Structure 1
Amino acid sequence: MAFQHPQQHPQPFQAYGYCESYFVESHDDDDGLFARAAAEREKTRGVAKLRQKAFADELSRATAEEYQEDILDHMEHMEAETMPDIQSIEIQTEIQWFMRPYLLDFLLEAHHAFQLLPETLHLAVNLLDRYCSRRVVYKRHYQLVGCAALLISAKYGDRKERVPTIRELKSMCCSLYDDDMFTQMEWHVLQTLNWIVGHPTVTSFLQLALTEVSFDPELEHMSWYITELALYHKEFISVRPSVMARSALALARCILARPQPRYSDWSARYDPQVVLNLSNYLSQPSQALLRKYASAHLSSVSTTIEMFLQRQAVLAQRVVQAPINELPSMDIDHPTPANAYLTPTTPQKGGYPSVPAGVLTPPITPDKDYCGNTGYGINQGLLPHMNPCTPTPPPSVEHQHHMHFAAQPPPQYVQHPQYVQ
C-alpha cells in the first residue's frame, strides 16, 4: 500500500458532517463551537415547550371557566346517584361499625404506601360502602372487599405505574386470600355496582373550591386531613361530597386563621352542623392518620391541629375557672339621718335557727306536719326529732313599759279627735 500524505484526506468531522452529540472531540481552532450550538438549541427547545404548556393551561382555564357551571351541575347530579345507603349497611348481619376504623387504617396505609392520588382513597371507600349497601358481606371477606375497591379505584383514576398488583395486596393481607379471590371479588364488586365506578369525590369538589383563591398548600392539606378523618365515622357517610368539601374547607380556614370568602360564593356555602360535628372529632383521630399527616410534605397538619386544640383547651379553661369573687362589686353606703330615732321603721323578723348540715331547709309556710322547733316532716320520718330551743325569760315590767312608750309615734304624727277643730 502506497503511503499517502495526511493532508490528502479530509478531517473526520468534515467527512461525516455535523453531530449534535456533546461527546464530539473539538479541535483547538473550534473552541467548543458545536457544543455551545447544541446547548443553545436545547435551551430554545425547552423555552418553546414551556410556552406551549403555558398556552395550553391558559386555553384549558378559559374553557373550564366557560363550562364550569355545567361541570358542577353534572357532578352534583352524579354524586346523588352514587351515594351509599346507610340504612342498608345497618342491617348487615356480621360486619359491625367498630370494624370500620380497622379496615380504613389498612386502606389508608396501603394508599399511602403505593403513593396513590387523594381521590383514589375516597373513591375506594365509596365503592366499599356502595357494595355493602347491596350485598351481604361476611366478616372474613370484609378486608377482601376493601382491597378490591382500592384496586378498582386505582385502575380507574390513578397512574398506571402506581396501581398495586394482586401479589402486593396479597402480601399486605398476610396471604389470607388466594390470587383468584382478589380477581373474583373485583369482578363481583363491578357487577354489583352495574359497572358504574365514576363518583365525584370530596377531592374533586375541593379542587373546584380552591380554584377561586390563590394556591395555599397548607390549606389544601388541612382539608384533606379533615375529609379523611370524616371517613371513620358513620354519621358522615350520608353527607354529600360537595357539602363535605365546603364544610371541611371552612373548618380548615378557621383552624389556620384564613379569611372566609363571601357566603354568596359557591365554596362558602357550608353546612354549620357538619362543621360542628367535624370539629368535635378533631381530638379523636386515628393513629394511622396522624402518622400520615405528620410528614413535612403534607405540611405537618396533624401537629398544627394538636397545637390548635391545646390553645382552645387553655382558652376554655380560663373561661370556666374565672372566679366569681373577682367580679367588680359596688358597696352602697346608706347615710344615717340625724333624727333617726324619730323616723318610723318597718319591724324586721328575727333570724331563723341554723339548720344542721345535711338537713333539708323547711319551707317558709309551715304545713300540718311542720312542728316549730322539732323539725320538718317528723311524721314522715324525714328528719330526726330535735330538742326544742331554750326558752327566753319574759321581760320585766319596767322594760315592757319602756318598749310600749318607744313604740308610740311622735306627737306631731298623732291625730287625736280632741285636737281637731
Structure 2
Amino acid sequence: MVSAYVVEVYEYLRELELTTMPEVDYMANQNEVTWKMRGILVDWLIEIHTKFRLLPETIFLATNIIDRFLSTRVVSLVKFQLVGVTALFIAAKYEEVVCPSVSNFLYMTDGGYGDDEILKAERYVLSMIDFNLSYPNPINFLRRISKADGYDIQSRTMAKYLMEISIVDHKFMGTPPSLIAAAGNWLARRVLDKGEWDANLVHYSGYSEEELKPTAQLMLDYVVRSSPILSADAAKANQSGMNPLQTSPISHEVEHPNFIKKYAAKKFFKASTSIRKWAEEEFAPVQRYNSSTRKMEYVAVAPIL
C-alpha cells in the first residue's frame, strides 16, 4: 500500500465496511436454519480452509458472503451447505493467487453436489450480493494496527484467533471489522502483558480502550465458554457440596472443534489453548440462577474487563 495515501485508504475502508455489513437479525426470517447451524457450517468451512491452506482473508470474505446472502434470501436446510461451499469458492477466486478447483470443493462435500450446482449457485449468490466483494475484513485493519507495536508476532497471532471468533459466533454480526481487529489486538496484548493501549495504538486503530472493551468482552466470553476445564470445574461444583441444591452440571457451550484445533497448532503459537489456559488461571465458575430449570447452577463466566 502506497504510504503517501495510507490515511486516505483506511478512511475509505472505514466507510466501505459499513456498506458490506449483513443484517444483524436476518436469522429471524429463516425457517429451517438457526444460528447454531450457521456456527457449525462456518466451523466446517474453517476445516476446508485449513486443509487447502488458504489466506485468512478468504475465510473472512466467505463468511461475509454467507451472511449477506442469508440477509436477502431464505435458504432451506438441504441447500445450506451448498451456500457455504459456494461462498468459500467465490472468496478463494477473489483472494487467492491459485484457487482450488471446483472438483476440490466437491470432494469436501462427499459428493453431495455436482459441479454444475456449485457453478449455478455461484452466479446466483453473486447476483444477490450485487457482485460486491469489496469487503474490508479485519485482517486489513490488523495490518495497520500492528505497525504501532512493531508487528509483534505473538500478539498479532493471538489477535487473529480472537478476530476469527467473530465469524463462528453470531454475536459479532453487527460489529465492524475495524473494531473486531482493534479489540482482538487489545485483548491479545492484555493476555500477553504487552503493555498499555497507548496513544500510538489509538491513532493506528482509530479506537480508544473504552471503545474496545465491549467487543473484547464478547471475545473473552467465548474463550471462557469454550474452556472444558472451566466447564468441568462448574460441573464438579454442581455435583459437590459446593452446590447445596445438587443441580445438574452445565454443558460445554461452544462446539467449533475445527476452529479450536486450528489455533492450537504450533504455527499459531497454540493461541486457542494458551488464552484458554490464561482464562482458566484467572477465573473460576460462579453461581447463577437458571430460570428454565429454576435451580442455582455453577457456570463459567468471564469477568468484566
TM-score by length of 1: 0.58
Question: Displacement of 1:180 after TM fit?
Answer: 0.6
Q: Does the 8 A contact of 2:148 with 2:204 survive in 1?
A: no
1:136 has 2:74 as partner: yes
Q: Distance in 2 between matches of 1:214 and 1:165?
A: 37
Provide the C-alpha distance between the structure 1 equivalents of 2:40 and 2:216, rounded to a whole number of angstroms.
25
Amino acid at match of 2:87: A
Change (3 A) 1:257 1:71: same
Q: Which amino acid aligns with 1:180?
A: D
Larger Rg over CA atoms: 1
Identity %: 28
> Which structure has more RCO (C-alpha within 8 Å, separation ≥ 6)?
2
Partner Cα separation in structure 1 for residue 261 and residue 100 of structure 2: 22
Matched, 1:177 2:113: yes
| 2:138 matches 1:202 | yes
Counterparts in 2 of 1:277 and 1:152: CA distance versus 1, 3 Å: same
1:84 aligns with 2:5: no
Q: Output aligned runs, 1:207-356, within 5 Å.
A: 207-263=143-199, 264-267=202-205, 268-269=207-208, 270-285=211-226, 286-313=256-283
Q: Please give the residue correspondences for 1:397-408 in structure 2 after superposition, counting only pairs within 5 Å.
A: none
Matched, 1:113 2:51: yes
Output the amino acid matched with 2:177. P
Task: Give the whole-Å Cα distance in 2 for the aligned partners of 1:108 and 1:140.
Answer: 20
Secondary structure in 2 matching 1:189: helix
CA distance in 2, matches of 1:153, 1:171: 18
In the TM superposition, what whole-angstrom CA distance separates every residue of 1:317-340 from its partner, at most 9, and x where no partner exists? 9xx9xxxxxxxxxxxxxxxxxxxx
Q: Give 1:303 shift.
A: 2.3
For the residues of structure 1 that align with 2:257 and 2:179, how far apart are their CA atoms? 26
The answer to whether the 8 Å contact 1:217/1:299 transfers is no
Segment of structure 1 superposing worse, 270-279 or 289-298: 270-279
The two structures, once aligned, show a CA RMSD in angstroms of: 1.8
Q: Which amino acid aligns with 1:284?
A: R
Partner deviation per Cα, 1:82-128 (whole Å, 9 max, x = no partner): 11012333211121112012101110000000101111110000000
After the TM superposition, list the runs of 4 or more consecutive aligned residues in structure 1 that deviate by more than 4 angstroms: none
Q: How many residues align?
A: 253
Q: Is the 8 A contact 1:120 1:153 kept in 2?
A: yes
Contact 2:29-2:74 at 8 Å conserved across structures = no
Structure 1 residue identity aligned to 2:104: E
Q: Flag structure 1 segments of 5+ consecutive residues without an equivalent.
A: 1-59, 321-421
**Alignment deviations for residues 264-309 of structure 1 (CA, whole Å, 9 cap, x no partner):** 4242534221111211111234221221111111111122112201
CA contact (8 A) 2:154 2:269 kept: yes
Cα offset for 1:152?
A: 0.8
The Cα shift of 1:244 comes to 0.9
Gaps of 5+ in 2: 227-255, 288-305
